[in-house]
């Protein structure tokens, strides 16, 4: 092994891919890397920028040969940093915690769900849908309500009480009036957060509030990356002043739910709460008045649950018609001619959705962006 190779190995530089364009990767090195390396090599070079160094990297031929894909959010090993030219080469991609496609992004930690309390008016059903969708990813979920400047304290208290009864603690903010922005930001350091929510609620405004010099930094990047148009496929992680990375998603209004009827209950805190202290008689109970059901209908979103359940059942029925070998519901027709789905009574162990299902859910967030 050459001296150079040994040296590279000793000072293995780790970083996170912020953006990908053609065969170039914008990599933000970890803070530890910043502290020793620049001073060791070229003193003073990085001092103009208090941010961690960002290197424009190529990918080692070896990675190309083994077909190693590199996506935004990837943790990578960078070799041969050129601090003056802010260049480097990616030598290795560390294993991913998770990954979604179109646009590709890896290692997401949480979803920040942003809604507005007014303008556009808060649509309870739509919010519920987004929440269930968010829960289905298995990621940490933050809920924030923007435009709190447009409602009275009394109205805010009412919304807060309502959403708390669903099992969530919303953070009320106003980007325009700079209310609670720092508080919301305090949940973001050291994580990769994806912002989601309908259009018009203030996602872009929030991003700009979090990162005051965002445009400036974006401008700097564009000089090197030849930054393309802001298409839905283009995803970029932005570094927050206090650490943490944030990706924006274009707004979309009705996320598709695609869980199984059995999984659905898991995505309602109200149901989880009830099942934590009691059990339904049937392990595959769908909580629709089955005998011995521990989930009563005395909570606000129960109607949403039933509605989403219908959708899930319809979807599953369609799958069965395509030959799914293991149905969990059966169709019953009553004397009045009404049809109803009932859970089959064979016990099927209640299980958390698989990691794979969760990742598919996560990818779905992005698929819909393109529609």
Q: Which residues sit at the interface with ligand GDP, rule CB under 6 A?
A: 146-147, 149-150, 174-176, 199-205, 251
- Which of ligand GDP, Zn ion, none does residue 285 bind to, with CB < 5 to 8 Å depending on kind? Zn ion
Least Cβ distance, residue 179 to ligand GDP (angstroms): 8
Nearest CA to 271 among 302, 227, 309? 302
Residue 204 binding: pick among ligand GDP, Zn ion, none (C-beta 5-8 Å cut-off by kind):
ligand GDP
Q: Which one of Zn ion, ligand GDP, none is in contact with 146 (Cβ closer than 5 to 8 A by kind)?
A: ligand GDP
Q: CB of 354: closest distance to ligand GDP in angstroms?
A: 32
User: Which residue lies nearer to ligand GDP by CB, 120 or 167?
Assistant: 120
When the beta carbons of 89 and 175 are compared against ligand GDP, the nearer one is 175
Q: Which CB atom, from 25 or from 172, has the smaller least distance to ligand GDP?
A: 172
* Closest alpha carbon to 209 in 182, 243, 249: 182
Give residues with Cβ within 8 angstroms of 210, minimum separation 6. 181, 185, 188, 238, 240, 241, 246
Measured from the CB atom, the residue of 92 and 279 that comes closer to Zn ion is 279
Q: For the CB of residue 117, give the shortest distance to ligand GDP in the complex, in Å.
A: 9
Q: Which does 203 bind (CB under 5 to 8 A by kind): Zn ion, ligand GDP, none?
A: ligand GDP
Residue 92's φ and ψ, nearest 5 degrees, are: -160, 145
Q: Which is nearer to Zn ion, 32 or 310 (CB)?
A: 310
* Shortest Å, Cβ 129 to Zn ion: 22
**Smaller CB separation from ligand GDP, 15 or 202:** 202
| 174 contact choice in ligand GDP, Zn ion, none (CB below 5 to 8 Å, kind-dependent) | ligand GDP
Of 84, 34, 22, 28, which is closest to residue 58 (Cα–Cα)?
Answer: 22
CA distances, 225 to each of 45, 90, 240 (Å): 21, 16, 20
Q: Pull the structure tokens for residue 60.
A: 């080692």
240: partner contacted, choices ligand GDP, Zn ion, none (Cβ within 5-8 A by kind): none
Shortest Å, Cβ 250 to ligand GDP? 8
Q: How far apart are CA 141 and CA 67, in angstroms?
A: 33
Minimum CB distance to ligand GDP, residue 294 (Å): 39
Q: How many degrees, rounded to 5, is the angle at CA 232 between CA 226 and CA 233?
A: 65
Measured CA to CA, the distance from residue 215 to residue 206 in angstroms comes to: 13
CA geometry: angle at 343 spanning 341 and 347, to 5°? 170
150 contacts which partner out of Zn ion, ligand GDP, none, CB within 5 to 8 A by kind?
ligand GDP
Nearest to 344 by CA among 295, 294, 283, 303: 283
- From the list Zn ion, ligand GDP, none, pick the one residue 250 interacts with, judged by a Cβ distance below 5 to 8 Å according to partner type: none
Q: Is 53 exposed, middle or buried (0-12, 13-18, 19+ CB in 10 A)?
A: buried
List the Cα angle 234/238/242 in 5-degree steps. Answer: 170
Of 287 and 301, which CB lies nearer to Zn ion in the complex structure? 287
What are the angstrom distances between the C-alpha of 247 and each of 19, 22, 220?
Answer: 10, 19, 18
The smaller minimum CB distance to Zn ion, of residues 92 and 260, is found at: 260
Rounded to whole angstroms, the Cα distance separating 260 from 280 reads 18
Residue 294 CB, shortest distance to Zn ion, in Å, is 6
295, interface contact from Zn ion, ligand GDP, none, CB < 5-8 Å by kind: Zn ion
Catalog residues that contact Zn ion under the rule CB under 5 A: 280, 285, 287, 293, 295
CB 35, CB 256: distance < 8 Å: no
Least distance (Å) between residue 175 CB and ligand GDP: 4
Report d(CA 93, CA 104) in Å as an integer: 15
> Rounded to the nearest whole angstrom, what is the least distance from the CB of residue 181 to ligand GDP in the complex?
9
Of 138, 137, 143, 140, which Cα lies nearest the Cα of 184?
143
Considering the complex, state which of residue 75 and residue 203 has its C-beta at the smaller distance from ligand GDP. Answer: 203
């Amino acid at each position: 092994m050459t001296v150079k190779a040994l040296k590279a190995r000793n000072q293995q530089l780790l970083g996170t891919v912020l953006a990908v364009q053609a065969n170039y990767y914008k990599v933000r090195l970890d803070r530890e890397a910043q502290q020793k390396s620049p001073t060791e090599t070229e003193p003073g070079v990085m001092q103009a920028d208090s941010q961690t160094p960002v290197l424009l990297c190529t990918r080692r031929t070896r990675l190309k040969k083994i077909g190693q894909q590199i996506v935004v959010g990837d943790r990578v090993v960078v070799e041969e940093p050129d601090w003056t030219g802010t260049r480097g080469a990616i030598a290795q991609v560390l294993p991913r915690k998770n990954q979604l496609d179109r646009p590709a992004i890896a290692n997401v930690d949480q979803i920040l769900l942003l809604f507005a309390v007014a303008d556009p008016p808060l649509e309870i059903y739509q919010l519920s849908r987004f929440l269930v969708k968010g829960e289905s990813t298995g990621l940490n979920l933050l809920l924030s309500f923007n435009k709190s400047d447009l409602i009275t304290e009394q109205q805010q208290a009412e919304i807060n009480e309502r959403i708390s009864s669903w099992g969530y603690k919303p953070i009320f903010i106003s980007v325009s009036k700079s209310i609670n922005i720092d508080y919301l930001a305090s949940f973001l350091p050291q994580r990769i957060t994806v912002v989601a929510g309908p259009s018009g609620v203030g996602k872009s405004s929030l991003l700009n509030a979090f990162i005051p010099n965002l445009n400036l930094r974006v401008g700097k990047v564009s000089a090197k990356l030849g930054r393309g148009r802001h298409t839905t496929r283009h995803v970029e992680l932005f570094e927050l002043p206090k650490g943490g990375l944030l990706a924006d998603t274009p707004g979309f209004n009705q996320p598709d739910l695609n869980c199984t009827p059995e999984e659905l209950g898991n995505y309602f805190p109200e149901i989880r709460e009830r099942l934590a202290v009691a059990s339904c008689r049937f392990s595959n109970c769908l909580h629709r008045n089955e005998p011995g059901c521990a989930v009563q209908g005395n909570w606000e979103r129960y109607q949403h649950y039933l509605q989403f359940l219908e959708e899930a059942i319809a979807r599953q029925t369609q799958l069965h018609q395509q030959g799914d070998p293991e149905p969990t519901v059966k169709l019953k027709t009553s004397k009045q001619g009404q049809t109803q789905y009932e859970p089959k009574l064979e016990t099927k162990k209640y299980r958390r959705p698989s990691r794979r299902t969760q990742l598919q859910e996560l990818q779905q967030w992005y698929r819909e962006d393109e529609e």
